[in-house]
Amino acid sequence: MLLPVRTTAPYRGRAIVVWTIVALCAAVFLLQAALPPAEEFALVVDHALIPLRYSDARWALAVGLDPRDYGPFLTMAFLHGGWLHLIFNMWTLWLFGRAVETRLGRLRFAVLYLACALLASWAQATVYPESNVPVIGASGAVAGVLGAHVMLFHRARVVILLLIVIFPVWFGVSALWYVGFWFLTQLYYGTGSLAGEAIGGVAWWAHIGGFLAGLAFVRLLAPPPPPGDAAPAAD
């Protein structure tokens, strides 16, 4: 397992938007866990992305879903299927999002995150329009943050933890190498999943769509670079 544990990209302050997203996702997950199974299932079905809901209005109405309600394209990014799903997404957002929020500012970063969430959902629904499997998770939006991070801080270093059985190994790579390897992995599995529903139950095309959205939107949202390099600050 490859786990990023540190990045040298500079950031300042408390990354208010990043922490707000983390708090919202954690609160929603705790709400999910507190509900009886039937109510939790209903919550997920109502607010998850189900592509068939929008490609087949008759099916949607037959199962009690409104095909004109596009809210799930965004709300799906605040639902998670388990603790590991939540923790990994929020860890990646916290690790790479702080520097991006510092660079863009709070409002622009919030716009970037929400836009990537929407484009990630759109990509998944476009590739699998006939799927009735609920898609949840912030992975697509977080992928957009990764795209923005590598565009803004491609010279930064990322420290990786590699677990070989029970023995940890740490090594550093460039942000460009790490994110590039991650994206090629998504393309590999995403292309392979075109023959079926999805490999490993992962919405690979949401990751791909969110990442590409991050690459594109950060160019529009980023202000001119500050003179010199800012020093990293403790959070």
Q: Given this model, what pLDDT does residue 71 score? A: 97
Q: Please tell me the distance from the alpha carbon of residue 159 to that of residue 157, in angstroms, as a whole number.
A: 7
Domain-embedded: residue 56 = yes
Picking from 79, 96, 64, the residue whose alpha carbon sits closest to that of residue 32 is 79
> Within 13 Å of residue 19, how many CA atoms lie on the same side as its CB?
6
Domain-embedded: residue 233 = no
Ordered alpha helix ranges (H), the chain = 16-34, 37-47, 52-55, 57-62, 72-75, 83-104, 106-127, 139-152, 175-193, 204-221
Sign of the alpha-carbon torsion through 148, 123, 119, 121: negative
Q: Given this model, what pLDDT does residue 227 score? A: 63
pLDDT band at 31; cut points 50, 70, 90: very high
Domain-embedded: residue 10 = yes
Q: Given this model, what pLDDT does residue 215 score? A: 95
Q: Given this model, what pLDDT does residue 228 score? A: 55
Q: What is the pLDDT of residues 52-90, one digit of tens each?
A: 999 999 999 999 999 999 999 999 999 999 999 999 999
Q: Given this model, what pLDDT does residue 232 score? A: 41
CATH number of domain containing 217: 1.20.1540.10
User: Helix, strand or coil for residue 232?
Assistant: coil
